[in-house]
Amino acid sequence: MLRINKLLITGAFAFICVSMMAQNNTNSPYTRYGYGDLGDRSFGAGRAMGGVGIGLRSPLQINPLNPASYSCMDSMTFIFDFGVAAQLSQFDDGNSRQHDKNGNVEYMALQFPISRRLAVSAGLLPYSFVGYKFGVVRSSSDVTYTESYNGTGGLTDFYGGASFDIWKKRLAVGANVGFLFGNILHSQVITMSGESTGAYNTSRSEELRVRDLKFDFGIQYTHPISKTEQLTFGATFSPRKNLHAKSYNSTIAYVSSTTGETLSSDTITDKDFSLPNTYGIGVSYVKQNKLTLAVDFSYENWKKMPYFGDKNRFNNEYRIGGGCEYIPNYQSKTFFNRMKYRAGIHYNNSYLRMNQTTVNPEGDSYHEIGASLGFGLPLIDNRSFLNISLEYVKKNPEVKTNMIDERYFRFTLNYTFNELWFFKRKVE
């Protein structure tokens, strides 16, 4: 009965996650460009340790950052993982400040073994987020009008992966096959001010729909230092992908507040969209049930990737992150001694390029720096955990003119359900 109740709870959480995945968790004006903000693929411990995971190999958590990690789990274990996030945002354009609140279910995943050397995982991960709303008042030829911009949507990765131990639990390989799907909608509304001027209010919209497969590959090698210490080296690769995508553009002129005339409406299928080659390396040091140290580096070759056929929209992006986890006393009866204490930092540049003009063809971009703290709260069996992470993120624009300084305080709550479902107890 207990196991059935746990299964029902797991199913309920899965339903909630699926129903909420499409909701926005950002208000950043920068998501007006490209595919928006790229999602963080790290779970639980990795999220509080600077977003690391390429070199992490733990039997107690799911780690889709490197699919080679799945096979390290116990052959009688089932893991279910889901996370929710909330954030406070501050936007500063040099003249005024704006504060926003967002919250969303971020991910869900499960993992279970097929044999002692083979394990599989599946889940839903965010690939990108788009969400913004802002306006500006302009004047031209004695006409005053308001331009309002709004964007919603994003892309989601529904993945399935497998990992296989090639050699003595020390060398493992893995791969994910993901179905990338989602809609991104950008709209611009021009509203004329004052009396009729002979000009119409106009609404323009641009929608991108993506439905395609993507692939991720990983490898990990673990080198034992002693009976309780080990080093794990990891590497990942995601090949370039030319996306199967459609674009829908429309322009509507409104004669009155209730009636409008469609001036143009097009379905565009001949524009190219691509995702880049992505490379990652990572290393971790683990002292069993005591200390974990990890560092990751990733590089995404966005430059020259077409977006609406334009190959001059993006920068190559790199990211470096590092973090640690410490357990005072794993076997203690004191709850705070069994807790996992985590911290991390990360730094990356953005793949987006903005404000491109003939005078400034390279455009402008921004860099991001973040710091995080977290806790792993053990549940009764010391296998399942409630993970909490607090993160501060700052986006620094390369130039202050016409760019926005953004700051985020992000709270993530992650539940890792780890159960010996395949264990048969003997009855004497």
Q: What is the pLDDT of residues 319-338, one digit of tens each?
A: 999 999 999 998 888 999 99
Q: Please determine, for residue 195, whether its predicted confidence score (pLDDT) is greater than 80.
A: no
pLDDT confidence tier of residue 419, bands split at 50, 70 and 90: confident
Give the Cα separation of 223 and 232 in Å (integer): 6
The answer to the question of residue 425 being in a domain is: no
Give the Cα separation of 142 and 79 in Å (integer): 65
Q: Please determine, for residue 293, whether its predicted confidence score (pLDDT) is greater than 70.
A: yes
E-assigned strand segments in 301-338: 317-326
Closest by CA to 76, choosing from 287, 414, 383, 416, is 383
pLDDT for res 424? 54
Residue 57 burial class via C-beta count within 10 angstroms: exposed 0-12, middle 13-18, buried 19 and up: buried
* 25 vs 317, higher pLDDT: 317
Rank 156-165, 308-317, 372-381 by mean pLDDT and report only the highest.
156-165
The answer to the question of residue 135 being in a domain is: yes
- Residues 6 or more apart whose CB falls under 8 angstroms from that of 185 comprise 130, 151, 152, 153, 205, 206, 207, 208
Share of the chain above pLDDT 90, in %: 53
pLDDT confidence tier of residue 123, bands split at 50, 70 and 90: very high
CATH number of the CATH domain containing 228: 2.40.160.60
Q: Please determine, for residue 410, whether its predicted confidence score (pLDDT) is greater than 70.
A: yes
Closest by CA to 277, choosing from 303, 256, 245, 308, is 303
Mean pLDDT of all residues in 386-415 = 89
The answer to the question of residue 11 being in a domain is: yes
Give the Cα separation of 187 and 249 in Å (integer): 10
The answer to the question of residue 427 being in a domain is: no
Q: Please determine, for residue 98, whether its predicted confidence score (pLDDT) is greater than 90.
A: no
Do the beta carbons of residue 318 and residue 298 sit within 8 Å? yes
pLDDT confidence tier of residue 4, bands split at 50, 70 and 90: very low
Residue span of the structural domain in which 413 resides: 2-419
pLDDT confidence tier of residue 7, bands split at 50, 70 and 90: very low
pLDDT confidence tier of residue 264, bands split at 50, 70 and 90: low
Phi and psi based region of residue 351 (left: phi greater than 0; alpha: psi -120 to 50; beta: remaining): alpha
Strand partners, 109: 81, 123
Q: Please determine, for residue 158, whether its predicted confidence score (pLDDT) is greater than 50.
A: yes
The answer to the question of residue 426 being in a domain is: no
pLDDT for res 15? 47
SS in 3 state form for 327-393? CCCCCCCCHHHHCEEEEEEEEEECCECECCCCCCCCCECEEEEEEEEEEEEECCCCCCEEEEEEEEE
pLDDT for res 2? 43
**pLDDT tens-digit readout, 212-241:** 999 999 999 999 999 999 999 999 999 999
Q: Quote the number of domains for the chain.
A: 1
Strand partners, 356: none
Q: Please determine, for residue 409, whether its predicted confidence score (pLDDT) is greater than 50.
A: yes
pLDDT for res 230? 96
pLDDT confidence tier of residue 22, bands split at 50, 70 and 90: very low
**pLDDT tens-digit readout, 108-120:** 999 999 998 999 9
* 405 vs 2, higher pLDDT: 405
* 142 vs 272, higher pLDDT: 272
- Which two tokens mark 210? 């993506």
Average pLDDT, the chain: 85
Rank 133-142, 340-349, 358-367 by mean pLDDT and report only the highest.
340-349
User: Of 104-118, 245-259, 265-279, where does mean pLDDT reach its minimum?
Assistant: 245-259
pTM of the full predicted structure? 0.86
User: Of 35-49, 57-71, 392-406, where does mean pLDDT reach its minimum?
Assistant: 392-406
The answer to the question of residue 424 being in a domain is: no
DSSP 123-144: EEEEEEEEEEEEEEEEEETTEE
Mean pLDDT of all residues in 136-146 = 74
pLDDT confidence tier of residue 258, bands split at 50, 70 and 90: low
